[in-house]
Amino acid sequence: MSLTLQQFNTLSQEKATSCLLTCCTSTSWAQEVANARPFTDIDALLTHSDEAWQQAQTTEANLLEAFDGHPQIGNVDSLKEKYRNTQDSAAHEQSGANDAEDDVIAALAQGNQDYLDKFGFIFIVFATGKSAQQMLDLLLARLPNDRATELVNAATEQNKITRLRLQKLLGAA
């Protein structure tokens, strides 16, 4: 679904919150952004989204609620689908996706499971334009961190994802 900013501004509170939850599944974030309408432009919306996300990060429960909105990429078949099926990929993502080797895919699946086991939430990263190898490198670099550090890292990545999804929702991406 794509909306204009004008359409978004005039949605009911319930419908606006519902649309926002497709961008980030933190209820407190979505309600805060919906409450702040109307926005004068996309930049004002993104700025308020960033501020609302900063507020949402004050509790771990809000972070975990947002992280739970992402599917876990935890098995080899789903990873192969993600990185090899270029039919649905954007052109700029295709070159890296075509090069995903079975050993990288297997290592990424294992790394995702190791991450979940260690931290209690899935590996969150802004994946747009990244190859399977780049994703694996990022995952392995973050795996030695402590949980508090990873909550911050994942929250930062979540905000990047949310911003892109908001832009797509409003046809600005």
Are 2 and 171 in contact by the 8 Å Cβ rule? The answer is yes
Please check whether residue 152 lies inside any domain of the structure. Answer: no
| pLDDT score recorded for residue 99 | 54
Whether 70 is catalytic is yes
pTM attached to this predicted model:
0.84
For 113-144, the pLDDT digits (tens) are: 999 999 999 999 998 888 889 999 999 999 99
**Residue in this structure with the two tokens 């004050």, named with its chain if needed:** 58
| pLDDT score recorded for residue 102 | 83
**Whether 80 and 61 share a structural domain:** no
For 90-102, the pLDDT digits (tens) are: 333 333 444 568 8
Please check whether residue 155 lies inside any domain of the structure. Answer: no
Q: Which residue stretches of 36-101 are H helix?
A: 42-56, 60-67, 76-84, 91-98
Q: Which two tokens stand for residue 126?
A: 């802004």
Please check whether residue 151 lies inside any domain of the structure. Answer: no
Catalytic residue among 8, 57, 66, 70: 70
Please check whether residue 93 lies inside any domain of the structure. Answer: yes
> Which amino acid belongs to residue 37?
R
Between 71 and 87, the more confident residue is: 71
**Whether 51 and 94 share a structural domain:** no
**Whether 59 and 20 share a structural domain:** yes
CA dist list (Å): 113 to 39, 72, 97, 141:
40, 9, 21, 15
**Nearest of 9, 13, 1, 12 to residue 45 by alpha carbon:** 9
**Whether 114 and 131 share a structural domain:** yes
| pLDDT score recorded for residue 95 | 39
Are 60 and 151 in contact by the 8 Å Cβ rule? The answer is yes
Report how many domains make up the chain.
2
Range of the domain at 100: 76-142
**Whether 87 and 127 share a structural domain:** yes
**Whether 82 and 43 share a structural domain:** no
CA-CA-CA-CA dihedral for 104, 89, 19, 17, to nearest 10: 20
Q: Which two tokens stand for residue 15?
A: 């419908």
